[in-house]
Amino acid sequence: IYYLGIAGIYMKKYKIAKAEKCLELAAKEMGMTYFMTKLGILYNKMEIKFIKHEVEEAKKIASELEKVYLDSFIPLQIYTSKLRYMLPMKFYEKEDLQQFKTMFEKEKNNGKYIRPEDRIVYSRVLYLLSEKHEAIKVIDEVLEFCRKYSIITSLIDGIIVKIMLLKEDFEFKKREIYNLLREALHYSIKNEYLRVY
């Protein structure tokens, strides 16, 4: 578990070789024997595959994880991780967006906890489905929540997404975009969080 946590930190700092080494250490000996550690290791391997642009391998691991977590809230987290990387690379179909939107709204309507990361991806999905007003509303709520509770990595992710949502109105939103970028860079430098870029 220690090495899994350290691997996550290295991924956020975009130190991929060190993250991979930690996952090897986590898997060594008994790591792949126990259900929860095995799933944690696979989840992190999936993220590394996406970061390294090994998309097909990453999607394969994601599909395996989705099957394991079929009846819990975890499939939304798996789908979030998938889309977090697939959206910027434009490796998605409209049905992927619709499926995520349906899954997200079902979880929300059932009163399940929705993480800031899930909400950030949901905002991007809404935007890509031409629901720009709702997308901005969702991302603003996420940013308010993350600032209030000092959830820095999600705050930075959310700020970058909001900048992307506003970029087509650059001439009218220039000042807001620059202020958001300054805020994101401030927290990124202070916390060595580079993955989002």
Q: Which 3-state string (H, E, C) describes 18-84?
A: HHHHHHHHHHCCCCCCCHHHHHHHHHHHHHHHHHCCCHHHHHHHHHHHHHHCCCCCHHHHHHHHHHH
Q: pLDDT tens for residues 147-163?
A: 999 999 999 999 999 99
pLDDT at 10: 95
- What's this model's pTM, rounded to 2 decimal places? 0.84
Count CA atoms closer than 13 A to 1's CA, side-chain side. Answer: 3
Neighbours of 50 (CB within 10 A): 24
Task: Tell me: pLDDT of 73 over 70.
Answer: no
Report the distance separating Cα 22 and Cα 16, nearest Å.
10
Q: pLDDT tens for residues 158-191?
A: 999 999 999 989 999 999 999 999 999 999 999 9
The confidence band for 72, taking pLDDT boundaries of 50, 70 and 90, is low
